[in-house]
């Protein structure tokens, strides 16, 4: 995604709208949330024990059509990206040795409404595959995933070119002597960039780590040092460089927060990291340009076990525009969230449940909409 920031729009007041329930999973194991904006709305994608699903949404997050089961479940991760008039879907399935089933990393092509038109397996995967990322550029799809076949989880990537006719890879990106976390991928200029974190324990059993990026120009480069076991980095284009978002505990005894690090056009660190807000909930944060500014959507804990969704708005210089907006309901906890920009609103998709005994998980949507002083949308 590209950030084009307009301070006059970004400074407009915003508010969260009422939420909509767009799906219910009785098993309670909803995962792999994705949103793809298109037309006057977006398509929600998710996976659970029953399979892979897609549902069209209107601009306000309400259902614009029925939910459709489009494939088997993606137990090892899900990533979705627009490719022209189609949608590319990366789906990971975990191996099940007891049932004699191999795991796989696969790419599917779909129409915008979610109907799959083609399926292509890229590689086998292990029992602990978890976390996929997808970037699309000039006829090339780059897929990155996390696999744990060896002693430590590793990051692998592969390219699919010429509309799926050729594959390049897979190739190992991470260090085999460290534990790698879930990757992020983005198209940048004429290349794809992949980010991930590697962690290890020092002699005092404290966690140390670093966030790395690989842009095809030599070895992967560290762009941040961390002390949190799950930094979960995410990328955003901001010409001429990048923003790398990640979670970290600074100082070490504080709850993890979300930080943004500028990276220049050469892939080098540019300035100090900017702290955004708390981000210690399940799953990673979402970073996107919308309504003339930059929005961060981050699950975080409140109290001992409950989770809310915090939404932060930043201006072009990464300054805070307003306080944290919160998707919160008493007695409800959230298992993850994602977001997309639809028009001038941030559309948020989240998985929620009402307690440990509630087996049903609901997929809910809401929008963060901004208005100018005269009450009109920018």
Q: What are phi and psi of 78, to 5 degrees?
A: -140, 135
Quote the Cα angle for 165-54-113, to 5°. Answer: 65
Q: Which long-range contacts (CB under 8 A, 24 or more apart) does 169-178 make?
A: 169/122, 169/123, 170/105, 170/122, 170/123, 173/144, 173/214, 173/220, 174/198, 174/212, 174/220, 176/150, 176/151, 176/152, 177/152, 178/152, 178/209
Report yes or no: 93 and 127 within 8 Å, Cβ to Cβ: no
Q: Which residues neighbour 8 within 8 Å (Cβ) at sequence distance 6 or greater?
A: 292, 378
- Please give the pLDDT value at position 329: 86
Q: Among 10-24, 39-53, 116-130, 201-215, which stretch is predicted with the lowest mean pLDDT?
A: 10-24
Q: What domains, with CATH codes, occur in the chain?
A: 7-370 (2.120.10.70)
Please tell me the total number of residues recorded for the chain in this structure: 378
Give the SS3 label for residue 10: helix
Residue 110 has pLDDT above 50, yes or no: yes
Residue 374 has pLDDT above 50, yes or no: no
Question: Whole-angstrom Cα distance, residue 375 to residue 363?
Answer: 30
26 burial (CB, 10 Å; 0-12 / 13-18 / 19+) is exposed
- Please give the pLDDT value at position 85: 83
* pTM across the whole model: 0.90
Give the SS3 label for residue 7: helix
Mean pLDDT of 304-308: 85
Q: Of 40, 38, 63, 66, whose CA–CA distance to 53 is shortest?
A: 66
Q: Where are the alpha helices (DSSP H) in the chain?
A: 7-10
Tell me how far the alpha carbon of residue 8 is from its chain's centroid.
Answer: 28
Q: Of 261, 260, 329, 338, whose CA–CA distance to 298 is shortest?
A: 338
Residue 254 has pLDDT above 90, yes or no: no
116 burial (CB, 10 Å; 0-12 / 13-18 / 19+) is middle
- Please give the pLDDT value at position 49: 84
Mean pLDDT of 44-56: 92
Q: What is the DSSP string of 163-207?
A: TTTEEEEEEE-S-TTSEE---EEEEETTEEEEEEEEEEE-TTS-E
- Please give the pLDDT value at position 6: 36
Question: Whole-angstrom Cα distance, residue 54 to residue 89?
Answer: 11
Mean pLDDT of 18-22: 92
Q: Among 4-13, 217-226, 312-321, 348-357, which stretch is predicted with the lowest mean pLDDT?
A: 4-13
Q: Residue for token digits 């070119």?
A: 161
Report yes or no: 81 and 110 within 8 Å, Cβ to Cβ: no
Provide the 8-state DSSP code for 320.
B
Cis previous bond, 131, omega within 30:
no
Q: Which tens digits make up the pLDDT trace of 319-372?
A: 998 889 999 888 888 988 999 999 989 999 999 987 666 667 899 999 998 765
Q: Residue for token digits 């534990």?
A: 179
CA dist list (Å): 142 to 18, 292, 308, 314: 36, 28, 32, 29
Question: Whole-angstrom Cα distance, residue 11 to residue 210?
Answer: 34
Residue 88 has pLDDT above 50, yes or no: yes
Residue 306 has pLDDT above 70, yes or no: yes
User: Which pair of tokens denotes residue 169?
Assistant: 């890879």
- Please give the pLDDT value at position 361: 84
Sign of the torsion angle spanned by Cα atoms 357, 359, 360, 362: positive
Arithmetic mean of pLDDT over the chain? 86
Question: Whole-angstrom Cα distance, residue 347 to residue 320?
Answer: 20
């Amino acid at each position: 995604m590209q950030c084009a920031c307009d301070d006059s729009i970004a400074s407009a007041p915003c508010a969260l709208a009422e939420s909509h329930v767009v799906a219910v999973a009785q098993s309670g194991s909803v995962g792999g949330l994705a949103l793809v904006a298109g037309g006057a709305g977006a398509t929600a994608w998710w996976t659970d024990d029953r399979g892979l699903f897609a549902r069209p949404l209107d601009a306000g997050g309400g259902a614009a059509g029925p939910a459709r089961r489009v494939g088997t479940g993606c137990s090892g991760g899900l990533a979705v990206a627009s490719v022209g008039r189609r949608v590319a879907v990366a789906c990971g399935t975990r191996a099940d040795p007891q049932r004699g089933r191999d795991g796989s990393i696969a790419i599917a092509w779909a129409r915008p409404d979610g109907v799959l038109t083609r399926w292509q397996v890229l590689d086998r995967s292990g029992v602990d595959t978890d976390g996929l990322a997808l970037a699309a550029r000039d006829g090339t799809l780059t897929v990155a995933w996390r696999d744990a076949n060896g002693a430590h989880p590793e990051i692998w990537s592969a390219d699919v070119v010429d509309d799926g006719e050729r594959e390049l890879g897979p190739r190992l990106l991470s260090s085999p002597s460290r534990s790698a976390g879930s990757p992020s991928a983005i198209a940048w200029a004429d290349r794809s960039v992949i980010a991930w974190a590697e962690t290890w324990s020092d002699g005092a059993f404290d966690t140390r780590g670093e966030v790395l990026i690989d842009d095809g120009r030599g070895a992967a480069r560290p762009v941040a040092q961390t002390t949190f076991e799950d930094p979960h980095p995410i990328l955003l284009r901001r010409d001429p460089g990048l923003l790398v978002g990640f979670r970290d505990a600074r100082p070490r005894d504080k709850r993890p927060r979300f930080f943004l690090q500028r990276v220049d056009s050469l892939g080098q660190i540019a300035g100090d990291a900017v702290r955004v807000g708390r981000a210690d909930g399940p799953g990673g944060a979402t970073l996107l340009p919308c309504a003339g500014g930059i929005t961060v959507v981050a699950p975080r804990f409140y109290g001992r076990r409950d989770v809310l969704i915090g939404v932060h708005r930043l201006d072009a210089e990464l300054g805070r525009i307003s306080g944290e907006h919160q998707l919160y309901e008493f007695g409800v906890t959230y298992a993850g969230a994602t977001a997309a920009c639809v028009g001038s609103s941030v559309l948020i998709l989240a998985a929620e449940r009402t307690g440990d005994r509630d087996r049903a998980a609901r997929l809910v949507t809401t929008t963060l909409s901004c208005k100018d002083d005269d009450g009109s949308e920018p």
